[in-house]
Amino acid sequence: MNENGVTMVPLGGYPKEIREKATELYRQGYTKTKIAEILQIGRTTVRRWLRSGTHPYLKPHSIETKQKALELIKSGLSRRQAAEKVGLSYATVVFWAKGLSNKYDNESCKKYPLRLKRKVRRMVIAGMKKREVAGMLNVPYSIICSWTADIHTVNSRLSGASERILAKVVEDGYFMPKHAQLIICRSLRQELGLKLVRVNHNWILYSERDKDKVIKAMLAKLNLNYISTRKMVKLKKLFYAN
């Protein structure tokens, strides 16, 4: 109790002794209102204790269950999804997850455009590995997993040549195909949402991640140490075209 006569509730809830005292007084015949007056606590709190028989935070759970719930959250699932997976209440999982690093909350709360989510789903359905998609689009792997949790891929639907081209795009950010590879690149563009542009006599397949870096890498690949401002503007229009 503070100097104003108000009962202060300690962090973590009331002590166990007060809860046991409330139960004992109720067994002796005291009403809930009288118990609240004697212990100087709220009547709603007394009623909740007597109704549940025990304080909700004291409900026992195994350490394995808690660790499983936390691992599900770290893998990219929301707290509500994790609660459904392990068969616990949402409030319990939220209480456990308070000790997690804020990076999981920051990433899950970060706003991503809907078109990006749709592109990720198309890429995974087409057969790309989720970790490769995360690297290509610069999206955390946990977020990719949460967006594609309902997609189950057994084998890659892409051919060996397509996978090699995709690996090159993931590694360098772009791929300069030969004429015989254009059919594959156009197919990848349609299925995975990649971009395909023609610069002079060269075709370039690239991801939308870090377009400026891709342009600089392409210029270095072509051994172009200088390019006029007008040509650079024209080049950017090609790469940034929707």
Q: Residue 202: in which H helix or E strand, if any?
A: strand 202-206
CATH architecture of 16-58: Orthogonal Bundle (1.10)
Report the pLDDT value the prediction gives residue 88, as an integer from 0 to 100.
78
Its pTM surpasses 0.95: no
CA 105-81-121 angle, 5° bins: 80
CB 83 within 8 A of CB 70: no
HEC profile for 60-90?
CCCHHHHHHHHHHHHCCCCHHHHHHHHCCCH
What residue spans define the domains of the chain?
Answer: 16-58, 63-109, 112-157, 158-242
CB 227 within 8 A of CB 219: yes
Nearest CA among 140, 202, 127, 197 for reference residue 166: 127
Report the pLDDT value the prediction gives residue 61, as an integer from 0 to 100.
67
Report the pLDDT value the prediction gives residue 157, as an integer from 0 to 100.
59
Q: Which residue has the tokens 């789903």?
A: 121
Nearest CA among 233, 174, 231, 176 for reference residue 208: 174
What is the block-wise mean pLDDT of the chain (242 residues), using blocks of 10 residues?
47 71 84 87 82 52 80 78 81 75 48 82 79 80 81 63 82 84 84 80 80 79 76 80 63
CA 11-16-19 angle, 5° bins: 105
